Amino acid sequence: MRTGDRASAPLQEPPATVETEGPSPAASRAGGVPAGRDPASGSLQEPPGSFATGGPFPAAAPVHGVPAGAAGDGPESTEWHSPVLTALLLAVQAASTLVFLADNLVLFFIAFEAVLLPMWAIIHRYGDPAARRRAAAKFALFTVAGSLLMATGLFAAVADTGTADLGAIILHGGVSGDASLLVFALLALGFAVKAPLWPLHSWLPDAHTAAPTVGSVLLAGVLLKLGTYGLIRVAGGLAPDGAAAAAPVLAVLAALGILVAGLVCLRLPEIKRLIAYSSVGHMGFVVLAFAAGTEAGIRAALFGNLAHGLVTPLLFFLAGALKARTHTGSLAALGGLRLAAPALAGLLGFAALASLGLPGLAGFWGEAFTVYAAAERGGAWLALAAAAAFGAFLAAAYLLRMLRHVSHGPVAPAALGIGDVSGAEAAVWAPLVAGTLLLGLVPGPLLDLFSEGLL
How many domains are contained in the chain? 1
What are the residues whose beta carbons fall under 8 Å from the beta carbon of 331, sequence distance 6 or more? 269, 270, 271, 274, 402, 405, 406
Residues pairing with 138 in the sheet: none
Indicate whether 66 belongs to any domain: no
Q: Is residue 3 part of a domain?
A: no
Report pLDDT for 352: 92
Angle in degrees, 0-180, between the axes of helices 362-377 and 423-441, rounded to the nearest 10: 30
Q: Which residues of the chain have pLDDT under 50?
A: 1-77, 454
Q: Note whether residue 67 is domain-resident.
A: no
| Rounded Cα gap, residues 453 and 37, in angstroms | 13
Indicate whether 131 belongs to any domain: yes
pLDDT, position 13: 35
What is the Cα–Cα distance from 196 to 75, expressed in whole angstroms? 31
pLDDT tens profile 40-52: 333 333 333 333 3
Is 151 a domain residue? yes
What residues does 270 pair with on adjacent strands?
Answer: 330
Residue 117: what pLDDT? 87
CB 237 within 8 A of CB 169: yes
9 is a domain residue: no
pTM of the model: 0.77
- Report the alpha-carbon distance of residue 214 to residue 297 in Å, rounded: 31
Please choose, from the candidates 22, 13, 24, 17, the residue with its C-alpha nearest in 3D space to the C-alpha of residue 381.
17
Residue 104 backbone dihedrals phi, psi, to 5 degrees? -110, 130
The CB density around residue 141, as the number of other CB atoms within 10 Å, is: 11
Q: Strands (DSSP E) along 42-200, which ranges?
A: none
Task: For residue 40, tell me if it sits in a domain.
Answer: no
Q: What DSSP string runs through 221-286?
A: IIIHHHHHHIIIIIIHHH-HHHHHHHHHHHHHHHHHHHHHHHHHHTT--BHHHHHHHHHHHHHHHH
283-319 tens-digit pLDDT: 889 999 988 888 888 888 888 888 888 898 899 889 8
Measure the CA–CA gap between 250 and 253, rounded to whole angstroms. 5
Q: Which domain holds residue 25?
A: 19-32+74-452
Query: What is the rounded distance in angstroms from the CA atom of residue 33 to the CA atom of residue 53?
Result: 9
Domain membership of residue 12 (yes or no) is no
